[in-house]
Amino acid sequence: MSASHVPQGNAASRQPQPKVDLAQSLAQLLPLWMFAGPVLYPRDFLPAHFRGWLDWNPFTFYAEYMRQTVLAYGHAETPLLLALAIAILVLAIGYAVFRRLASHFEDFL
């Protein structure tokens, strides 16, 4: 065996793995998410057939609740406790994913 001989292994181990930079992705997605939610406009500004889509945006409740609280108009249709339960569920899922993938994180600091 020569010194330049390297065992090949299986083909799957040699395939380059795509890397997604979370910071770059979030920098693009968060402004889109903000404009897709009713942060800069109330729900009534949208045509009636698009208003139902806002309910799929998890940030909609918080934007509408804050608008109701600060500006004292409109109403938030989702109860506050339901929104809190959903937020805690998302936090728990995010924490579980973080704990599972923490060994793969690299420290660049």
Within-domain flag for 27: yes
At 59-71, the pLDDT tens digits run 887 788 777 777 7
Cβ(74)–Cβ(38) below 8 Å:
no
Check residue 109 and give its pLDDT: 42
Cβ(68)–Cβ(60) below 8 Å:
no
Within-domain flag for 16: no
Within-domain flag for 12: no
pLDDT at 103 over 50: yes
Which residues fall within 8 angstroms of residue 46, CB to CB, at 6 or more apart? 54
Quick check: helix, strand or coil at residue 31? helix
Reported pTM: 0.48
Domains of the chain: total: 1
Within-domain flag for 109: no
Within-domain flag for 9: no
Within-domain flag for 7: no
Cβ(58)–Cβ(82) below 8 Å:
no
Which domain does 77 fall in, by range?
Answer: 23-104
Model confidence at 94, in pLDDT bands (50, 70, 90)?
Answer: very high
Check residue 92 and give its pLDDT: 96
The residue among 21, 94, 85, 86 whose CA lies nearest residue 56 is 86
Check residue 91 and give its pLDDT: 94
